[in-house]
Amino acid sequence: MPATKTYILSNYNEQKHSWQSDILGIEMNMLTFGTEGFPIVLFPTSMGMSNENKDFKLLEAIGWFIEQGIVKVYCPDSIDKHSWYNDDATPEQKVKNHILYDRMLAEELYPRMKEETGFDRIGAAGCSFGGYHAMNFGLRHPDLTAAIFSMAAKFDIKGQLDGFYNDDVYYNNPPDYIAELNDPWLWKMQIFLGSAEFDMCLDANYSMANQLGLKHVQHTLDVTVGEKHDWPCWRKQFPYYLSLLDIEKTKEKI
């Protein structure tokens, strides 16, 4: 049986946090890992909560980077069950609820990450639907986001909305709005796309890489041979992408 890495009295520093979100009007839970370093918000997969990435050993996979003080990771709850996956809500309300989540991230979580680490811009990461959240938040807020790590994501959200479309959908659907982006911070970002040979989201990642390339935005796309849309692949990819991250570039100014 392979040995399990255990971190005791170290920079790994797992902590649990809860707060009443004024923007969402609900209690939010979050796990954090690390004491210092480049701050990364790590989203769960669809309808996942703050513990999911830990439970599926994604945090263990990047433990060295946390232990060395290279990154500090923030794992908040999603509210997908109130937004994109809420079968009791109208499509319009689904989008509005997501916009509140985006505001919570930008107005409640981001300031905390900045204060605790000293970095002006953060990273956004996630697997599967968490990768959508990472990409959408990062592209919507390039002034706040220096790096995106999106693994096995599908970026077109319209399939959740039964044909409904308005400006709110447009501005939360990266394949639609990316061509119109012109914030100079976008060209200071580092974007890491991951997929796999048998990933159902492979075509979506090829398409996103093409759109980023047309805008000359720095990005990489890694397609892992022989793997599928699942955690074992993502546990390999995330530490690899962190090894490629240029921390000094995340501090650059316009």
Q: Find out whether 52 and 44 touch, Cβ atoms under 8 Å.
A: yes
Structure token digits, residue 222: 């890694």
In percent, how much of the chain has pLDDT > 70? 96
pLDDT one-digit tens code per residue, 54-100: 999 999 999 999 999 999 999 999 999 999 999 999 999 999 999 99
For residues 209 and 113, what is the distance between their CA atoms, to the nearest angstrom? 28
| Residue 54, H or E segment | helix 52-55
Which has more pLDDT, 252 or 5?
252
- Residue ranges of domains in the chain, CATH in brackets: 22-250 (3.40.50.1820)
Query: Burial of 167 by CB count in 10 Å (0-12 exposed, 13-18 middle, 19+ buried)?
Result: exposed
Residue type, 124: A
For residues 218 and 10, what is the distance between their CA atoms, to the nearest angstrom? 34
What pLDDT was estimated at residue 17? 97
In percent, how much of the chain has pLDDT > 90? 95
For residues 224 and 215, what is the distance between their CA atoms, to the nearest angstrom? 25
Residue type, 221: L
For residues 209 and 229, what is the distance between their CA atoms, to the nearest angstrom? 18
- Which residues, listed in sequence order, are joined to residue 71 by a DSSP beta bridge? 38
pLDDT exceeds cutoff 60 at 6: no
What pLDDT was estimated at residue 5? 53
